[in-house]
Amino acid sequence: MQDKFLKPYNSQETESKIYKLWEDSGFFNPDNLPPRHKEKYSIMLPPPNVTGILHMGHALTLTIEDIMIRYQRMRGKKTLWVPGTDHAAIATQSRVEKDIKKKEDKSRYDLGREELLKRIGVFVKQSHDTIISQSKVMGASLDWSREAFTMDEKRNLAVRTVFKKMYDDGLIYRGFRIVNWDPKGQTTISDEEIVYEERPAKFYTFKYSKDFPISISTTRPETKVGDTAVAVHPDDTRYQKYIGKEYDTVFCGVKIHIKIIADESVDKEFGTGALGVTPAHSMIDWEIGEKNKLPVVQVIDEKARMMVGGENIFGKKVAEAREIIVEWLKSEGLLEKEEEIKQNVSTAERTGGIIEPLPKLQWFVAVNKSFNIERSNIKGVQSGQETTLKELMENAVKNGQINVIPDYVNKTYFHWIHTLRDWCISRQIWYGHRIPVWYKDKEIYCGIEAPKESGWTQDEDTLDTWFSSGLWTFSTLGWPEKTKDLSFYHPTDVLESGYDLIFFWIARMILMSTYVLGDIPFKHVYFHGMVRNPKGQKISKSLGDNIDPVDISKKFGTDALRMALVIGNTPGTDTRWSDDKVKAYKNFANKIWNITRFILESTKEEKYIPNFDNFSDADKKLIDERNNFVADITKDMEEFRFYMAGEKIYHYAWHTFADIILEDSKKVFVTENADETSKTSRKQFLLSTLRTILIILHPFMPFITEEIWQSINEDKSILMIEKWPI
Among 311, 345, 361, identify where a domain stops.
361
- What is the tens place of the pLDDT at every residue in 212-264? 999 999 999 999 999 999 999 999 999 999 999 999 999 999 999 999 999 99
Per-residue pLDDT, 454? 93
Is residue 635 in some structural domain?
A: yes
| 541 pLDDT more than 80 | no
| 540 pLDDT more than 70 | no
- Identify the CATH number of the domain in which residue 651 sits: 1.10.730.10
Q: SS3 of 199, please? A: strand
pTM of the entire structure?
Answer: 0.92
Per-residue pLDDT, 72? 98
Residue 180 neighbours by CB under 8 Å, 6+ apart? 188, 189, 190, 191, 193, 194, 346, 355, 357, 424
SS3 per-residue string spanning 290-313: HHCCCCCCCCECCCCEECCCCCCC
| 593 pLDDT more than 60 | yes
Is residue 381 in some structural domain?
A: no
Instruction: Quickly state the pLDDT bin for 539 (edges 50, 70, 90).
Output: low
Cβ pair 146, 331 in contact under 8 A: no
Is residue 666 in some structural domain?
A: yes
Least confident of 136-150, 156-170, 536-550, 655-669: 536-550
Per-residue pLDDT, 192? 78
- Identify the CATH number of the domain in which residue 337 sits: 3.90.740.10
Q: 645: number of CA atoms within 13 Å, CB side? A: 24
Is residue 661 in some structural domain?
A: yes
Give bridge partners of residue 197 from the DSSP assignment: 345
Distance CA(270)–CA(273), nearest Å, equals 5
Is residue 331 in some structural domain?
A: yes
- What is the tens place of the pLDDT at every residue in 158-215? 999 999 999 999 999 999 999 999 999 999 998 878 999 999 999 999 999 999 999 9
With residue 216 as reference, give the H or E element that holds it: strand 216-218
Per-residue pLDDT, 376? 95
Which domain covers residue 299, as residue numbers? 187-361
Q: 74: number of CA atoms within 13 Å, CB side? A: 26
Using only the alpha carbons of the chain, give its radius of gyration.
31
Query: Percentage of the chain surpassing pLDDT 90?
Result: 87
Q: Which amino acid is at 569?
A: N
Per-residue pLDDT, 708? 97
- What is the tens place of the pLDDT at every residue in 87-106? 999 999 999 999 999 999 99
| 84 pLDDT more than 90 | yes
Among 334, 361, 388, identify where a domain stops.
361
Is residue 686 in some structural domain?
A: yes
Total number of domains constituting the chain = 2
| 569 pLDDT more than 60 | yes
Is residue 583 in some structural domain?
A: yes
Instruction: Quickly state the pLDDT bin for 667 (edges 50, 70, 90).
Output: confident
Distance CA(360)–CA(363), nearest Å, equals 10
| 286 pLDDT more than 90 | yes
The rounded mean pLDDT for the chain is: 94
Is residue 604 in some structural domain?
A: yes
> Cis bond leading into 480, ω under 30°?
yes
Angle, CA of 140, 145 and 146, to the nearest 5°:
90
Per-residue pLDDT, 212? 97
| 543 pLDDT more than 60 | no
| 542 pLDDT more than 60 | no
Per-residue pLDDT, 69? 98
Among 304, 328, 361, identify where a domain stops.
361
